[in-house]
Structure 1
């Protein structure tokens, strides 16, 4: 093996190699490295989006919801909440009331979805972690308080402490037009969630919401959070089927599942496309080795006349190809991990340089580039590069081993 490595290194760095062969060799190395680099960076970016989806968006959007068909609300919701909390997969359960209405400030109106929450049940959930402590304290102490999404407050020009009017539609049995219910509320604070949610979401006290909406049971339904959000569809349906009341059931995959599906689709496309890039670069190694074999026929013939076996000749060219692949893979993996680990800071620097945002918070659910490097994906990328490189060396190496000394020396 030491002799094969020595010969491979000598062949690779031989000054007799023609310029075109050297160019193909360098391009194959760069191609493998570039493929590994881009694959690691993009996979880390997808991991970051997935993490932010779970930690940020799903902290506000409930994993599962059960709400009553009856306008009177969910019967005996406190007992139902206590029983569901016995399940170890459940993180929290909280009652809520929800309605769509219009928020009026001065002469301006904005359509919003207002959710009534109880501080008693919500103070330890993920939403409270996104709200500043002083804002949460004002909300808990003020029965007339409301927390607005950042987009709503900017659209209407509302500041903390100002009073706003909430208009809620009223349904009538005879379908006649009735004036909306009106309630005055005080803005306790502003919350920034990210994306479209900031433009239409608001939170008020559950008791106040139930009174205004006429919910006799005190809560329209319950919101559930799970340790694993991907259990939401199965678990929510299971809990709902055990309730002896007509219910609607929903989970986050129905309302925001397209975001997760988009991330997974992009991840799959990235896997396929960049694996093909690495494969193309690996096939350049085939060209490099074939040209090298043609140029080194005389040296191969001399080695065989000196007693070199076909196995030794095969190993020489396999190792020569592996050197190109390993150099490219190591360079690509190290640079990919370095860039992916600092991608958010790099994106901020680019934004400052060009004076524009890469991601707009008005469109996406976050306004920065997240990145999470996973060791298993780095190992996977390196392994794929090495496997493709090894496969690329087999044909040229076997061709070199089949060279006959007599015919090669005659040429």
Structure 2
């Protein structure tokens, strides 16, 4: 109790020189800024990871099997075979093509998927982002395209578009593409690259166009119960198929993005951790000057019978207090900014008229997700550094010689 009282008195007392007070405030400010930046940075990275899992990976295939040559026969049986795997939640057939969508002389390349409407919604969440007729209600000779494709072509829901599909089964290598006239019934408005690349139509529409039987498809798609184990599940389930297929998982198409997020998390934590470390160890210089400034007071306390442990605790508490104040303010500011960051980002770039995330990442907004364990770790590391930085100045204070100090005053 005495050490805490003395620490508070010393902290609020006037200093002989203003540089001591300036260094103390600078140390507190450095810790505050470091904690604030770390909380915001980790929240943004957590937000991107959450959006990757809940948004992008709900749309892209977890696991897919594509036939390199001949189509897959009897897809009903193959789907049931995949669903028997203990880690596969749902499965569906697909026909995947690269096609051109044409409207009034304008062309746009797209990844065209032929899907079974009632099954596709069990493996993909793209239906949550469709404006207009949903995927589950898709009928023959209808199409759903990405918003950016529709904008590029100037087409609206209800218009009819022409889809050009390569004539893969023709004996002529340069045969003219097959043309399909489809009615646009929905637009995918997800935000990100999906809006400018994806188009969905009924499976039977593409089967009829390509001359395939009703039981033939070019690929199978599955949804797994553990997305981070998708590759192993894909290989395991693929062995149950009798067809020659190319096995793929989201790790091949989006794995680098996930690894980039994890790498950025590590780099950001290390860099900002070093910033906090520098700010915390600025406490050393400020506390050394504090001890120098308070030598006379220390000498008087020693002559009055104060123990070295009391002197040590007094100045250690003072250094820790500077860090605690900075960490507390930094946490409050960081949490408030992290919670409101998406709204602040939208407000800022809505006025500027340019979004730096547009067309770059899989989302066009700045996501943020607070994880309290990150905050606790940040505070624990900050306090540990503050304690370490306060030990040497506090130890130096106990070495003050009352006779020498008071004899020179």
Sort the TM-score into its range (normalised by shorter chain): over 0.9
Long gaps (5+) in structure 1: none
Residues 17, 292 of structure 1: 8 Å contact kept: no
Within the candidate set 262, 273, 276, 1:264 is matched to: 262
Residues 101, 164 of structure 2: 8 Å contact kept: yes
Residues 39, 374 of structure 2: 8 Å contact kept: yes
Residues 96, 113 of structure 2: 8 Å contact kept: yes
Residues 359, 367 of structure 1: 8 Å contact kept: yes
Distance 2:314 2:88 in 1: 59
Long gaps (5+) in structure 2: none
Instruction: Please list the CA deviations of residues 67-120 of structure 1 after superposition, one character each: whole Å capped at 9, or x if unmatched.
Output: 22332x223432332243344533321111101121111211111110111012
Distance 2:138 2:268 in 1: 50
1:117-196 counterparts in 2 under 5 A? 117-124=115-122, 125-132=124-131, 134-136=132-134, 140=137, 142-171=139-168, 176-196=173-193
Name the structure 2 match of 1:20. Answer: 19
Distance 2:251 2:10 in 1: 57
Question: Which SS does the other structure have where 1:75 is aligned?
Answer: coil
Name the structure 1 match of 2:339. Answer: 341
Q: Indicate whether 1:47 and 2:27 are aligned.
A: no
Question: Which SS does the other structure have where 2:101 is aligned?
Answer: strand
Structure 1 position 268, deviation (Å): 1.3
Distance 2:336 2:379 in 1: 15
Residues 94, 118 of structure 1: 8 Å contact kept: yes
Residues 81, 240 of structure 2: 8 Å contact kept: no
Within the candidate set 197, 200, 209, 2:197 is matched to: 200
Name the structure 2 match of 1:293. Answer: 291
1:248-259 counterparts in 2 under 5 A? 248-259=246-257
Residues 194, 364 of structure 1: 8 Å contact kept: no
Residues 138, 201 of structure 2: 8 Å contact kept: no
TM-score normalised to structure 2 length: 0.94
Question: Which SS does the other structure have where 1:91 is aligned?
Answer: strand
Distance 1:305 1:11 in 2: 18
Q: Indicate whether 1:8 and 2:32 are aligned.
A: no
1:375-386 counterparts in 2 under 5 A? 375-386=372-383
Distance 2:12 2:264 in 1: 40
Distance 1:410 1:86 in 2: 90
Instruction: Please list the CA deviations of residues 305-340 of structure 1 after superposition, one character each: whole Å capped at 9, or x if unmatched.
Output: 222222111111110001100000000001111111
Name the structure 2 match of 1:391. Answer: 388
Instruction: Please list the CA deviations of residues 362-398 of structure 1 after superposition, one character each: whole Å capped at 9, or x if unmatched.
Output: 2322111111101111111111111111111011111
Question: Which SS does the other structure have where 1:16 is aligned?
Answer: coil
Instruction: Please list the CA deviations of residues 197-235 of structure 1 after superposition, one character each: whole Å capped at 9, or x if unmatched.
Output: 221210111111222233444222211222332111111
Distance 2:82 2:320 in 1: 57
Distance 2:181 2:289 in 1: 82
TM-score normalised to structure 1 length: 0.94
Residues 126, 188 of structure 2: 8 Å contact kept: no
Question: Which SS does the other structure have where 2:238 is aligned?
Answer: helix
Distance 1:246 1:166 in 2: 29
Residues 172, 178 of structure 1: 8 Å contact kept: no
Distance 2:194 2:125 in 1: 16
Name the structure 2 match of 1:357. Answer: 355
Question: Which SS does the other structure have where 1:257 is aligned?
Answer: helix
In 2 relative to 1, CA 355–193 (structure 1 residues): closer, same or farther, beyond 3 Å? closer
Structure 1 position 410, deviation (Å): 2.6
Distance 2:406 2:85 in 1: 80
